[in-house]
């Protein structure tokens, strides 16, 4: 394996070396940047450790650069950061850490490079590259991280039980790196996660959610969620998702395991889109199936209304996980609420009015809704899947035709409340609202044309009926 850097990066690292010499500090590249460059992965976040004052080193480097970059100092953490072109370089002094039982925030004191490597979460993140003149570019690998990169293994540098007890977020990071890199977790490390899973409760919801989203952003998110489930972490951090797990059988009739179905849908979406909010919609599309599950002797298992209740649950889950409660949440709620509609249309003759309503309600999110609906087509019955997919393609064509003729995205009826009030000398109120609704429904049903004159004539007829 080779430590891969660009000529531009080498110039910057040589400049860091000169700045460190001026300060009389030994200096090293560490962490994720080293790991990713050995793996030939792109990484613009550079971590620099010096045996000395990291803030002082950052300020010395900035004075040597042109244009002079702004140094952002985090005194509380003893770190500093500056940006150079596309690189974000963070500086810290080497340190040793000790933890209390009730916090992942360590007590920190100055230390050696060895101390700094000892505190790293995994062997593949504990490697350092010297920027010192006597051994510039040499990889310092006390925990066999290079070998673990080669055999694709996640392992803690020290005792995993102490590593996870000290900082339980590292358990989430182990799952995340395993998912992102396609690495296995060492058996001892895996066992320690299962043993210390309850320690995750001392971690803030915000930090947990960041790790969940990084898992979701990977190429195959199901790997991470299965690991979270199998280690017991998911039961603590996301019980609503775990409630989907399992199959119940009555009178020989069972339903599919909605947990694994959900992960399959999430993977399907991940193959088509990097939109993290669409991935959230995939993860939560069936979230209300457990509370809506019923067994009917005639129909078998039903989940009536799970899409409506699911949209409500999205709000509660977003609030609990400290996710944004703005248009992003509303987007996820909309897709969860509408996710059954496209597939329902493929089961019957597709009418223009049904398609108009679907496009009207989904508006600009219709393409994402259709992608989610396609991802939701999962079955071991290949003929059933093929039939659904064929009907789905027909629906896509029908949507395009309706879009071409009626322009329903973000559509508003051609006649406004002000038009109605002016025409009939009406004040604002229920009558005006009812007439607007009647026009909208008539156009969506194809009863009248989508233009002002037709809408006005229709309103006149409806108004006469009211008198």
Please state the φ and ψ torsions of residue 136, each to the nearest 5 degrees: -50, 130
Domain membership flag for residue 378: no
The reply to whether 81 and 160 lie within a common domain is no
Number of domains in the chain: 3
| Domain region containing 114 | 7-151
Task: Look at residue 230 and tell me if it is in a domain.
Answer: yes
Identify the three-state secondary structure at position 110.
Answer: strand
* 124 contacts 148 by C-beta, under 8 angstroms: yes
59 and 70 Cβ atoms separated by less than 8 Å: no
Q: Is 97 helix (H, G, I), strand (E, B) or coil?
A: strand
Residue 253 lies in a domain: no
Name the packing angle between helices 258-272 and 276-284 (round to 10°). Answer: 160
Residue 54 near residue 93, CB atoms below 8 Å: yes
**Token pair for residue 21?**
């010499």
Cα atoms in the Cβ-side hemisphere of radius 13 Å centred on 25 = 28
pLDDT digits (tens, 9 = 90+) for 194-230: 999 999 999 999 999 999 999 999 999 999 999 999 9
**Strand 153-154 with 139-140, pairing:** unpaired
In 3D, which of 291, 273, 258 has the Cα closest to residue 368? 273
Identify whether 353 is part of a domain: no
What is d(CA 113, CA 103) in angstroms, rounded to the nearest whole number? 24
Q: What is the pLDDT of residues 129-162, one digit of tens each?
A: 999 999 999 999 999 999 999 999 999 999 999 9
Does some domain include residue 267? no
Residue pair 225/215 in contact by the 8 Å Cβ criterion: yes
Same domain, 11 and 141: yes
pTM of the model: 0.88
147 three-class SS:
helix
| Domain final residue pick, 131, 151, 171 | 151
For residue 80, the SS3 value is strand
CA separation for the pair 171, 215 (Å, rounded): 13
The answer as to whether 302 is a domain residue is no
First to last CA, the chain: 85
- Per-residue pLDDT of the chain (467 residues), as tens digits, is 567 888 999 999 999 999 999 999 999 999 999 999 999 998 889 999 999 999 999 999 999 998 889 999 998 888 999 999 889 999 999 988 665 666 666 666 788 999 999 999 999 999 999 999 999 999 999 999 999 999 999 999 999 999 999 899 999 999 999 999 999 999 999 999 999 999 999 999 999 999 999 999 999 999 999 999 999 999 999 999 999 999 999 988 989 999 999 999 999 999 999 999 999 999 999 999 999 999 998 889 999 999 999 999 999 999 999 999 999 999 999 999 999 999 888 766 778 888 888 988 898 899 999 999 999 988 777 777 788 888 888 888 888 888 777 666 667 778 888 888 988 888 988 888 888 888 888 888 888 888 888 888 888 888 877 76
């Amino acid at each position: 394996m080779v430590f891969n850097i660009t000529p531009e990066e080498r110039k910057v690292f040589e400049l860091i070396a000169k700045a460190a010499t001026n300060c009389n500090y030994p200096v090293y590249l560490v962490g994720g940047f080293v790991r990713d460059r050995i793996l030939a992965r792109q990484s613009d976040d550079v971590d620099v450790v010096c045996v000395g004052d990291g803030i002082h080193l950052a300020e010395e480097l900035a004075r040597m650069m042109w244009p002079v970059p702004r140094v952002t100092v985090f005194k509380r953490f003893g770190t500093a950061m500056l940006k150079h072109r596309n690189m974000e370089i963070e500086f810290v002094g080497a340190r040793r850490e000790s933890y209390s039982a009730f916090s992942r925030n360590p007590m920190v004191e100055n230390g050696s490079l060895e101390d700094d490597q000892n505190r790293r979460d995994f062997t593949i993140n504990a490697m350092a590259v010297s920027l010192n003149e006597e051994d510039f570019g040499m990889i310092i690998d006390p925990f066999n991280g290079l070998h673990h990169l080669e055999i694709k293994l996640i392992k803690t540098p020290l005792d995993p039980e102490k590593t996870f007890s000290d900082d339980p977020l590292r358990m989430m990071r182990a799952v995340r790196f395993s998912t992102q890199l396609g690495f296995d977790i060492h058996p001892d490390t895996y066992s320690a996660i299962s043993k210390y899973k309850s320690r995750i409760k001392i971690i803030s919801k915000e930090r947990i959610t960041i790790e969940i989203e990084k898992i979701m952003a990977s190429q195959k998110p199901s790997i991470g969620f299965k690991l979270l489930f199998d280690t017991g972490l998911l039961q603590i951090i996301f019980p609503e998702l775990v409630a989907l797990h399992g199959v119940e059988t009555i009178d020989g009739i069972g339903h599919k395991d909605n947990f694994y179905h959900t992960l399959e849908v999430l993977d399907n979406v991940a193959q088509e889109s990097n939109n993290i909010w669409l991935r959230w919609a995939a993860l939560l599309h069936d979230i209300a199936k457990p509370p809506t599950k019923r067994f009917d002797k005639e129909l078998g298992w039903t989940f009536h209304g799970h899409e409506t209740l699911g949209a409500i649950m999205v709000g509660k889950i977003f609030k609990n996980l400290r996710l944004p409660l703005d248009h992003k949440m509303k987007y996820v709620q909309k897709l969860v609420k509408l996710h059954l509609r496209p597939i329902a249309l493929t089961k019957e003759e597709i009418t223009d009015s049904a398609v108009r309503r679907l496009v009207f309600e989904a508006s600009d999110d219709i393409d994402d809704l259709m992608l989610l609906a396609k991802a939701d087509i999962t079955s071991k019955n290949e003929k059933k899947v093929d039939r659904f997919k064929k009907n789905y393609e027909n629906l896509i064509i029908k949507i395009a035709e309706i879009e071409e003729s009626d322009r329903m995205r973000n559509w508003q009826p051609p006649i406004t409340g002000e038009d109605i009030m002016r025409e009939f000398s009406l004040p604002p109120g229920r009558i005006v609202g009812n007439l607007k609704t009647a026009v909208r429904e008539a156009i969506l049903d194809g009863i009248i044309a989508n233009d002002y004159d037709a809408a006005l004539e229709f309103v006149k007829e409806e108004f006469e009926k009211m008198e």
